[in-house]
């Protein structure tokens, strides 16, 4: 399917590469039963030479071999699965423990964020409530520095023997990363380092996956959202995922999927899921459908997020999500004489939909299963309505007054739409006015000829709402602001319509178990008031995999 490509001249990396010492033999494909593993580059054989054929007529088989996406993802297709040298206990049941220790340090040119901004917007004294307060404005405009280990994690997998063609697997994975939007500061404004040094131990994944003899797979529990074919869509960045402009989320769900082998290398995967709704007033689950085409004869070296390094097939995925928004809305009007009038409550109900397309394209592919001198392009584009909950902390700076109303002359109006999450849209009487949301990202990753121990990556990502500016113009930009910042220092004066993140980074694997990454990135946020805010971030992370 691909033509033979000429080898590009590799550039020598400085900095981390200089500290790396001699090349260390390491394998990226360590799951022995993934269909994307190569002979001589598996968990049981990392010599680069295929194992000798067994004596006699017996054919070597892997008793734990299967085609489910869940299993294939153990090393190659999930960014947080077993790294080199995972610990396994073998018997009739296979139990595996894995994880990593992550140490992060970061510098921000403004005080816009906590250590993990996710989809938060950069700020300055002109974009926050109380920015006229000289002390607060100067605080936001000052730089900040942070340390944390909260993204470290540990996980356990369990795999049963095959029983009449059925096989059951389960996974439990936890980390110490607090929910986005929680404040790192005390209510009174004092430091609260307990947020970092005594974090909550939380569940990331907790699910079971059932392989049937011929009906595909059923996955039940908390796992990556099918929308965007997560986690394959997550671009390579040092930032604690997700950075802006990429679908990212784990939700309780029931999913069916099936991998169809069209040819030896070409695979087609249809999938559907019903998942936890986007907010507590919704009377229906969210529904997701997807189809993906992958060619395992066209493999590219790549890294998902900051830990999922391996060889991945060229792929193109399509997905769509439908969400139901229903609830009640009540408006209170106060006229110039301070007479208050509360209108009868109104109900609203609306279905929304959004779509996504995801690409993984090896430009300089892996040859003969040996990584090095590889160039890979990844990209994602989403468009539609009602999918902000698939992007952590994407509230566009919108506060609790998430309503659109024709306020009577000489009156002030307020409204309450219980449970309606900011960033999804606005209530207007018996109608729901969703935000039109578009996101996209493009990422180039190059792996040097040192067996891909060293790599560089660059890209950009965008969050955008195309109708938020017109809504803000109609009701007043500052009326719609009020969302809290991720560090708890301030509230946004007005919503933003566009948030752009550009970045460049360098990585080095010192050993199969030790990795470091260094990144420069810039957040550029455009507000409905016409003001732009910038934050320049330098972040370095170290990882120890076990």
Contacts 24+ apart (CB under 8 A), 188-191: 189/489
pLDDT number for residue 107: 97
Spell out the CATH class of 64-545: mainly beta
Count CB-CB contacts under 10 A for residue 126.
17
Closest CA to 236 of 151, 310, 303, 312: 303
Report pLDDT digits (tens) over 12-27: 233 333 333 333 222 2
Cβ-contact 330, 305 below 8 angstroms: no
CA distance 536 to 289: 37
> How is 466-505 classified by DSSP, letter by letter?
SSHHHHHHHH-HHHH--PBPTTSS-BBSS-EEEEEEEEEE
Q: Higher model confidence: residue 248 or residue 11? A: 248
Asked whether residue 180 carries a pLDDT value surpassing 90, the answer given is: no
Q: Which tokens is 389 given?
A: 């909950």
DSSP tag of 265:
S
In angstroms, how far is the first alpha carbon of the chain from the final one?
37
DSSP string, 290-350: EEEEEEEEEEEEEEETTTEEEEEEEEEEEEEEEEEEEEEEEEEEEETT--EEEPPPEEEEE
Q: How far apart are CA 354 and CA 419, in angstroms?
A: 21
- 175 forms beta bridges with 153, 202
Q: What is the pLDDT of residue 173?
A: 93
Instruction: Report yes or no on whether pTM surpasses 0.85.
Output: no
Pairing relationship of beta strands 308-335 and 286-304 according to DSSP bridges:
antiparallel
Question: Which has more pLDDT, 426 or 37?
Answer: 426
Among 312, 278, 286, 284, which Cα is nearest to 298's? 312
Where do we find the tokens 């007033």? 281
Q: What is the mean pLDDT of the chain?
A: 80
Phi, psi torsion values for 75, nearest 5 degrees = -115, -45
Q: Where are the domains of the chain?
A: 64-545
List Cβ neighbours of 150 (8 Å cut-off, separation of 6 or more): 115, 116, 175, 176, 177, 178, 196, 199, 240
| Peptide bond between residue 242 and the one before it cis (omega within 30 degrees of 0) | yes
Q: pLDDT tens, 384-428?
A: 999 999 999 899 999 876 666 666 777 666 666 666 777 788 877
Q: Copy the structure tokens of residue 364.
A: 């300089």
CA separation, residue 311 to residues 40, 136, 220, 363 (Å): 14, 48, 27, 13
Give helix then strand counts, H and E, for the chain.
6, 23
pLDDT value at residue 105 = 96
pLDDT, position 403: 65
pLDDT-derived band at 114 (thresholds 50, 70, 90) equals confident
**CA 112 → CA 92, 239, 272, 394, distances in Å?**
52, 15, 38, 15
């Amino acid at each position: 399917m691909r033509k033979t490509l000429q080898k590009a001249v590799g550039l020598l990396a400085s900095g981390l590469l200089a500290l790396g010492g001699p090349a260390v033999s390491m394998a990226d494909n360590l799951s022995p039963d993934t269909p994307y593993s190569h002979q001589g580059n598996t968990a049981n054989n990392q010599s680069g030479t295929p194992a000798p054929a067994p004596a006699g007529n017996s054919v070597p088989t892997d008793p734990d071999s299967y085609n489910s996406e869940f299993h294939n993802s153990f090393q190659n297709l999930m960014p947080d699965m077993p790294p080199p040298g995972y610990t396994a206990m073998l018997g009739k049941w296979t139990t595996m423990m894995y994880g990593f220790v992550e140490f992060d340090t970061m510098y921000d040119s403004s005080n816009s964020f906590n250590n993990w901004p996710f989809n938060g917007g950069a700020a300055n004294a002109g974009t926050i409530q109380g920015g006229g307060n000289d002390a607060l404005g100067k605080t936001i405009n000052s730089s900040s520095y942070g340390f944390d280990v909260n993204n470290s994690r540990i996980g356990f997998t369990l795999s049963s023997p095959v029983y009449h063609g059925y096989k059951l697997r389960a996974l439990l994975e936890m980390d110490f990363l607090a929910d986005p939007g929680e404040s790192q500061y005390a209510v009174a404004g004092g430091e609260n380092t307990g947020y970092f040094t005594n974090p909550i131990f939380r569940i990331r994944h907790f699910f079971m996956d059932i392989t049937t003899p011929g009906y595909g797979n059923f996955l039940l529990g908390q796992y990556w959202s099918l929308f965007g074919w997560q986690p394959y869509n997550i671009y390579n960045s040092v930032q604690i995922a997700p950075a802006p402009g990429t679908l990212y989320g784990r939700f309780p769900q029931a999913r069916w999927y099936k991998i169809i082998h069209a040819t030896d290398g070409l695979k087609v995967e249809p999938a559907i899921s019903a998942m936890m709704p986007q907010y507590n007033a919704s009377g229906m689950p969210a529904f997701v459908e997807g189809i993906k085409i992958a060619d395992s004869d066209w493999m590219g070296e790549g890294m998902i997020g900051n830990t999922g390094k391996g060889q991945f097939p060229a792929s193109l995925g399509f997905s769509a999500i439908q969400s139901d928004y229903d609830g009640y809305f009540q408006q209170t009007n106060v006229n110039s004489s301070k007479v208050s009038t509360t209108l009868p409550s109104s109900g609203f109900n609306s279905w929304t939909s959004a779509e996504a397309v995801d690409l993984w394209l090896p430009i300089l592919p892996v040859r003969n299963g040996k990584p090095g001198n590889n160039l890979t392009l990844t990209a994602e584009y989403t468009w539609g309505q009602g999918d902000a909950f698939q992007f952590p902390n994407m509230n566009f700076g919108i506060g609790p007054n998430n309503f659109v109303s024709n306020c009577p002359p000489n009156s002030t109006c307020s409204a309450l739409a219980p449970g309606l999450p900011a960033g999804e849209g606005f209530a207007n009487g018996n109608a729901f006015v969703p935000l039109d949301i578009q996101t996209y990202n493009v990422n180039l990753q190059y792996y040097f000829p040192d067996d891909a121990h060293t790599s560089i990556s660059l890209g950009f990502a965008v969050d955008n709402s195309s109708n938020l500016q017109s809504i803000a113009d109609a009701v007043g930009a500052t009326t719609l602001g009020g969302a809290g910042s991720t560090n708890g220092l301030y509230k946004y004066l007005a919503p933003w319509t566009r948030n752009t993140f550009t970045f460049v980074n360098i990585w080095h694997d010192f050993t199969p178990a030790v990795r470091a990454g260094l990144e420069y990135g810039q957040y550029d946020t455009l507000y409905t008031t016409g003001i732009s805010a910038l934050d320049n971030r330098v972040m370095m992370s170290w990882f120890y995999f076990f």
